[in-house]
Amino acid sequence: METQDLGKILIIDDNEDLLFAAKMLLKKHAKEVMIEKDPRRIPFLVNNNNYDVILLDMNFREDTTSGKEGFHWLKQIKEIDPKAVVILITAFGDVEMAVQALKEGATDFILKPWQNEKLIATLSAAIKLKESYNEVDKLQKKQKQMQTDMKKPYTDIIGQSASMKNIFSIIDKVAQTDANVLILGENGTGKELIARAIHDRSLRKDDIFVGVDMGSITESLFESELFGHKRGAFTDAKDDRAGRFEIADNGSLFLDEIGNLSLPLQSKLLTVLQRREVTRIGTNKAIPVDIRLICATNMPLHESIADNTFRQDLLYRINTVEIFLPPLRERQDDIPTLANHFLKSYSQKYRKTFNGFTAAGMELLQRYSWPGNIRELQHAIERAIIMAEGDELDSRDFFFLSAKPASDKAPTAVTLNLDDMERTTIQRAIDKNGGNISKAAKELGLTRASLYRRLEKYGL
Q: Tens of pLDDT along 344-353?
A: 999 999 999 9
Question: Is cis: bond before 336, omega within 30 of 0?
Answer: no
Average pLDDT score over residue span 390-394: 91
Q: How far apart are CA 241 and CA 46, in angstroms?
A: 16
Percent of the chain at pLDDT above 70?
86
- Residue 342's pLDDT is 93
Instruction: Write the class of the CATH domain 418-458.
Output: mainly alpha
Answer whether residue 66 shows pLDDT above 70.
no
Pick 70 or 294 by higher pLDDT: 294
What is the maximum alpha-carbon separation in the chain?
Answer: 93
- Residue 267's pLDDT is 94
Question: What average pLDDT is seen over the chain?
Answer: 83
Return the closest-CA partner of residue 158 out of 147, 148, 167, 149.
167
What Cα–Cα distance (Å) separates residue 290 from each residue in 206, 254, 405, 457?
Answer: 15, 13, 50, 35
Which stretches does DSSP call E strand in 70-160? 86-90, 108-111
Average pLDDT score over residue span 44-50: 86
Residue 293: its H or E element: strand 292-297
What ranges do the domains of the chain cover? 8-132, 161-324, 328-402, 418-458
Helices (H), 250-398: 263-275, 301-306, 312-318, 335-349, 359-367, 373-387
Least confident stretch, 9-13, 167-171, 278-282, 399-403: 399-403
Q: Which range has the top average pLDDT, 209-218, 399-408, 424-433?
A: 209-218
CATH no. for 8-132 = 3.40.50.2300
Q: How far apart are CA 395 and CA 362, in angstroms?
A: 7
- Residue 377's pLDDT is 94
Pick 458 or 354 by higher pLDDT: 354
- Residue 186's pLDDT is 92
Neighbouring-strand partners of residue 181: 294, 321
Residue 144: its H or E element: helix 116-150
CATH 3.40.50.300 fits 161-324, yes or no: yes
Instruction: Report the sign of the C-alpha dihedral through residues 191, 169, 153, 354, in that order.
Output: positive
pLDDT band at 134 (very low <50, low <70, confident <90, very high): low
**pTM for this model (two decimals):** 0.60
Answer whether residue 321 shows pLDDT above 50.
yes
Fold agreement between 328-402 and 418-458: no
CATH no. for 328-402 = 1.10.8.60
Residue 281, CB-side half-sphere exposure with 13 Å CA sphere? 23
Pick 100 or 183 by higher pLDDT: 183
At 179-227, the pLDDT tens digits run: 999 999 999 999 999 999 999 999 998 889 999 998 888 888 899 999 9
Q: In a 10 Å sphere around its CB, with 0-12 CB exposed, 13-18 middle and 19+ buried, how is residue 206 labelled?
A: exposed
Least confident stretch, 137-141, 180-184, 329-333: 137-141
- Residue 74's pLDDT is 86
- Residue 103's pLDDT is 73
What are the backbone angles phi and psi of residue 432, rounded to the nearest 5°?
-60, -35
- Residue 457's pLDDT is 74
pLDDT band at 151 (very low <50, low <70, confident <90, very high): very low
Neighbouring-strand partners of residue 9: 33, 53
